[in-house]
Amino acid sequence: MCKLVGLDGPFVQIGDLPDYDYCGYEVAISILLYSRKPGRYDKNYTQYDTIRHFRSTYSNYLQASPHANFQTLSMGDFNGNYSRLVPDECESLFFKRFMEGLKKRMGQDWRPNIDLSISLIVKLLQKAELEMENTDTPQDAHLWTVSTNNVTISYVVSLRGPEGLCWIYMG
């Protein structure tokens, strides 16, 4: 249509494309191939939250490479804070849109920690009490006492994960 009015058109090609992968195509292909491996929760593919770490691994490697340190541009502000700009294929517009589309298509499998019910905690404490009464050594009784205290405190204070369990091993 532009030729009708004597224009070349809005698409301008400024020379040849570089020899290297400047948009992150190789990393994108590697991520796609890695996603096809069986995962922990699904035997058909690996979850998005697992494969997205491949991008940060590559970026960390690239930022520490001689290539990134050879061509460095820094910006500083009045407070003395510097931002370092390096050539990173994973920061290209193509790669950003690729990761967004991948996340939308794959979705995220969110598995929150499920709390213990009160009836289960009561049964656990009753079982531990029986074990304390039937132990032969004071060390076993002490271990059961510490364990029940740990379960009770962790439940009441609402600690999540292994925070409460590490108390047992500290002496």
DSSP letters for 88-156: -GGGSHHHHHHHHHHHHHH-----PPPPPPHHHHHHHHHHHHHHHHT-SSHHHHHHHHHHHHHHHHHHH
Give the tokens for residue 42: 């699904």
Q: How many Cβ atoms sit within 10 Å of the Cβ of residue 130?
A: 11
Q: Tell me the whole-structure pTM to 2 decimals.
A: 0.52
What are 51-107's pLDDT values in tens digits?
A: 888 888 888 887 788 877 777 778 888 888 888 776 777 888 888 999 999 888 887
C-alpha 144/C-alpha 132 separation (Å) is: 6
What are 21-46's pLDDT values in tens digits?
A: 778 888 899 888 988 888 888 888 88
Average pLDDT, the chain: 80
- H or E element in which residue 59 lies: helix 53-63
